């Protein structure tokens, strides 16, 4: 820390003259908070994993005709990962749709009933049968009268009786046919036709669903991290196609000794250090404490959720599989100092903060003082910190990205509502856990 202090002093000496010539920087400040009986932090090692990871497989058999993605590609939800051959399936769908059309028209014909011309034809046949029946009845009556006077033989009588009976049966048949035409098809026949149409519709639905499954898509937004097939390869149902990981949110699993678990609860903030990204600050939150530990080490898995950060090109900074250190509150300490998270500036050998000290030459302004710090646990919007800090010291939380030691400052109210005037309630409530 002495070396870092010397570096800070040398930097202040070299930059002080130039900083004095610059116009005052517009900044906002918040105070260093002293918290009593805070739960102090301890670091644990862990590995970064994605919150969501899907090993995408094929639901059908088929030959791969397209495989447009490569490892490392960013894909959107429902974006195709692979396309299987569908020509034969398209032919089956066309045939099934034609059969469905046939069943639909048959049902429509039944529901519409007989056409007007068919009804007229049935009525005309019934009328003709009625006329024939009336004629034979009249002829039979005349023949009976002649037979009683012995003017005709018994054979003539029996012949007219037979003709009258036949005309009566023909009339009944024509009348029944007309009634059927007027009444329309039976409900049972309509129900049967509806069932046949439903069967044909479900066959079309089945084939269309099968066609959709021939296009294998990403289940969510993410990155392709592995390829398991290629164009021309025959894959069976259940075989792997690609692996996709969602890196927008990450999970770090740390192994915590059972003695520390009393202080580690879901919702507790955790500061995360990723050595590969030493210039970045990360704060996560404990999501789960797995209630089953290792019987030998007595360590329990603690899962911390972290929202990823992105560079200017939109590429996620934290990658799956990276090594991480997780700072968790695990033991009591008498007193610690807390600094606002926004006050910490990364990018050098150690984290630094800028204190806003009174300007002896101009009471309306302040002067920036560079202070190296060592960070501990995270508490809501604060970090535990050690260094040349004092309770109530004002630290720059807005406008500190390009400050230089010795630069004049004009303090304004914070745009994000930071605790400028010693509002320590948030820090104290967090530290009291």
Q: How confident is the prediction along the chain (433 residues), in pLDDT tens digits per residue?
A: 444 444 455 454 444 444 445 788 888 888 888 876 666 677 888 999 999 999 999 999 999 999 999 999 999 999 999 999 999 999 999 999 999 999 999 999 888 888 888 889 999 999 999 999 999 999 989 989 888 888 888 888 899 899 989 999 999 999 998 888 888 888 899 999 999 999 999 999 999 999 999 999 999 999 999 999 999 999 999 999 999 999 999 999 988 888 888 888 898 888 888 888 877 888 899 999 999 988 888 889 999 999 999 988 888 999 999 999 888 877 666 677 888 888 888 877 788 899 988 888 888 888 889 999 888 777 777 888 888 888 889 898 888 888 888 888 888 887 765 544 433 443 444 433 4
State the DSSP H helix or E strand holding residue 169, giving kind and residue range, or none if neither: helix 154-183
- E-strand stretches of 290-391: 299-307, 323-332, 335-340, 352-358, 366-379, 382-387
- Tokens read off for 399: 């406008």
* Angle, CA of 374, 377 and 381, to the nearest 5°: 100
Token pair 């990823």 in the structure block, residue = 308
What is the reported pLDDT for 240?
Answer: 95
* 326, 270 Cβ separation under 8 angstroms: yes
Q: How many CA atoms are closer than 13 Å to the CA of 347, on its beta-carbon side?
A: 7
Quick one: 364 exposed, middle or buried, by C-beta within 10 A (0-12, 13-18, 19+)?
exposed
Strands 323-332, 39-57: parallel, antiparallel or unpaired by DSSP?
antiparallel
- Tokens read off for 37: 């009986």
Strands 408-411, 366-379: parallel, antiparallel or unpaired by DSSP?
antiparallel
Contacts of 42 (CB under 8 A, 6+ apart): 260, 327, 328, 330, 331
Crossing angle of helices 116-148 and 154-183, rounded to 10°: 160
What is the reported pLDDT for 4?
Answer: 46
The rounded distance, in Å, linking the Cα atoms of 211 and 48 is 38
Token pair 């969510």 in the structure block, residue = 220
**Nearest residue to 30 (alpha-carbon basis) of 411, 419, 355, 354:** 419
What is the reported pLDDT for 125?
Answer: 92
- E-strand stretches of 32-150: 33-36, 39-57, 62-66, 74-75, 80-84
Classify 422 as helix, strand or coil.
coil
Strands 352-358, 366-379: parallel, antiparallel or unpaired by DSSP?
antiparallel
Classify 246 as helix, strand or coil.
strand
Domains of the chain: 2-52+248-431 (2.40.30.170), 53-84+215-244 (2.40.50.100), 92-209 (1.10.287.470)
Strands 408-411, 25-31: parallel, antiparallel or unpaired by DSSP?
parallel
Classify 203 as helix, strand or coil.
helix
The rounded distance, in Å, linking the Cα atoms of 162 and 76 is 87
The rounded distance, in Å, linking the Cα atoms of 385 and 351 is 10
């Amino acid at each position: 820390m002495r070396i870092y202090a010397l570096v800070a002093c040398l930097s202040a000496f070299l930059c002080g003259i130039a900083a004095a010539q610059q116009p005052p920087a517009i900044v906002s400040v918040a105070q260093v908070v002293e918290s009593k009986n805070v739960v102090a932090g301890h670091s644990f090692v862990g590995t970064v994993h994605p919150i969501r990871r899907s090993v995408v497989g094929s639901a059908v058999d088929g030959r791969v005709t397209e495989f447009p993605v490569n490892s490392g590609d960013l894909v959107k939800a429902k974006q195709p990962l692979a396309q299987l051959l569908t020509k034969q399936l398209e032919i089956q769908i066309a045939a099934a749709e034609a059969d469905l059309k046939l069943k639909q028209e048959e049902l429509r014909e039944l529901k519409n009933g007989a056409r007007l011309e068919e009804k007229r034809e049935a009525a005309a046949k019934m009328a003709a049968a009625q006329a024939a029946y009336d004629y034979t009845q009249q002829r039979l009556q005349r023949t009976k009268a002649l037979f009683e006077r012995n003017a005709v033989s018994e054979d003539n009588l029996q012949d007219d009786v037979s003709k009258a009976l036949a005309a009566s049966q023909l009339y009944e048949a024509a009348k029944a046919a007309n009634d059927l035409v007027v009444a329309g098809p039976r409900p049972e026949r309509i129900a049967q036709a509806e069932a046949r149409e439903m069967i044909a519709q479900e066959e079309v639905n089945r084939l269309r669903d099968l066609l959709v499954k021939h296009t294998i898509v990403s289940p969510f937004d993410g990155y392709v991290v592995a390829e398991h097939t290629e164009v021309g390869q025959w894959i069976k149902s259940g075989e792997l196609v690609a692996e996709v990981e969602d890196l927008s949110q990450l999970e770090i699993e740390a192994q915590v000794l059972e003695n520390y678990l009393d202080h580690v609860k879901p919702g507790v903030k955790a500061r995360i250090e990723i050595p590969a990204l030493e210039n970045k600050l990360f704060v996560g939150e404990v999501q789960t404490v797995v209630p089953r530990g290792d019987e030998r080490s007595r360590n329990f898995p603690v899962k911390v959720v972290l929202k990823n950060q992105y560079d200017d090109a939109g590429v996620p900074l934290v990658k799956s599989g990276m090594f991480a250190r997780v700072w968790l509150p695990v033991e009591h300490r008498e007193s610690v100092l807390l600094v606002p998270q926004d006050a910490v500036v990364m990018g050098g050998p150690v984290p630094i903060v800028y204190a806003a000290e009174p300007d002896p030459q101009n009471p309306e302004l302040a002067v920036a003082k560079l202070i190296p710090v060592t960070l501990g646990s995270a508490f809501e919007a604060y970090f535990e910190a050690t260094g040349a800090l004092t309770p109530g010291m004002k630290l720059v939380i807005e406008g500190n990205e390009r400050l230089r030691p010795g630069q004049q400052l004009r303090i304004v109210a914070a745009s994000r509502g930071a605790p400028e005037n010693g509002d320590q309630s948030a820090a104290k409530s967090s530290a009291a856990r």
